[in-house]
Amino acid sequence: MDLIILKIAFFGPSGTFTEEAALTLEGEHISFNTISEVFKAVSDGEVECGVVPIENSIEGSVGITLDLLTHDYDLKIKGEIILPISHNLLINPDAEIQDIKTIYSHSQALSQCRKFIENMDVEVRSVTSTSRASELIVDKKSSAAISTRRAAEINGLKIVAEDIQDYKKNLTRFIIISSEDHVKTGNDKTSVVFSLSEDRPGGLYEILGVFADYNINLTKIESRPSKEKLGRYIFFIDFEGHRKDQMIRNIINVIEPKVEYVKIFGSYPKEGDD
């Protein structure tokens, strides 16, 4: 019998934090240039699942991931991976830190290392990924990259400063997207998005109160523009429990008539601390 290898898509080239998250899963890992391309590859059946970032403990949610889940694809969240993020300053092996006049990195990494960068008094340039930043400085003695330890190894660079992020407890949450979500494990969470039928006082409180009535813990709540009109929002919530639990089914049945729409992104095992 032929061995079936799971194909796993991930966002970004080798040397990124997303690749590091994807490598926690066994299978053939295939990189894609954008988060949208990862979604399309999963939707088209080119791969069995994909790994994309959804939120960072410092910078907040990744909007494009939430938008694609909500508006563009009928895919499910099958799992989550919570990864500690350690940013490092990489330079050419023949350079010294005092030679640096320009720092390259992804916009998120630059934001997360703002205080360190301000103390260096250098020019900052945003690029598509932390891995790309490390590639750009290979032959530049006056440039540095904020990137991963793996990117340093891949490109033959040296690390001159470690853990340079402003906040040491820096975590990024990645999700595993697939055509189906996860079976019940007894330690699950569910993610949904909903829109209120009308903008009225107490409307959101009424929906959230249903979860309180059933003693269900909400682990996340946030809003984003609906993209329909100014001042109209949709709401994302994560809560403990699996969508197939009878209590969770009851909650969904109660809130469905009270909202314009509700979409269940999926149920999956909880990882780490919320």
Q: What is the pLDDT of residues 141-193, one digit of tens each?
A: 999 999 999 999 999 999 999 999 998 888 999 999 999 999 999 999 999 99
Helices 203-213 and 246-255, packing angle to 10 deg: 160
User: Which one of 11, 17, 39, 174 is the catalytic residue?
Assistant: 174
Residue 13 is predicted with a pLDDT of 82
pTM value > 0.75: yes
Of the listed ranges 11-15, 16-20, 209-213, 259-263, the one predicted with least confidence: 11-15
pLDDT tens, position by position, 63-91: 999 999 999 999 999 999 999 999 999 99
Mean pLDDT within 120-127: 93
Catalytic-residue membership of 172:
yes
Is residue 118 over pLDDT 70? yes
**Distance between first and last Cα of the chain:** 42
Residue 49 has pLDDT above 60, yes or no: yes
pLDDT at position 199: 67
CA 167-19-37 angle, to 5 degrees, is 110
What's the pLDDT score for residue 200?
67
- Within the chain, where are the H helices? 17-22, 35-43, 63-67, 107-112, 114-120, 130-136, 149-155, 203-213, 246-255
Is 102 an annotated catalytic residue?
no
Tell me if 177 sits within 8 A of 124, measured CB to CB.
no
Per-residue pLDDT band for 1 (boundaries 50, 70, 90) equals: very low
**Marked catalytic residue, from 17, 172, 211, 239:** 172
Distance separating alpha carbons of residues 58 and 273, to the nearest angstrom: 15
Return mean pLDDT, the chain. Answer: 91
Q: Which domains does the chain have, with CATH numbers?
A: 7-85+170-178 (3.40.190.10), 88-161 (3.40.190.10), 188-269 (3.30.70.260)
The contacts of residue 12 (CB under 8 Å, 6+ apart) are 18, 19, 31, 32, 33, 129, 131
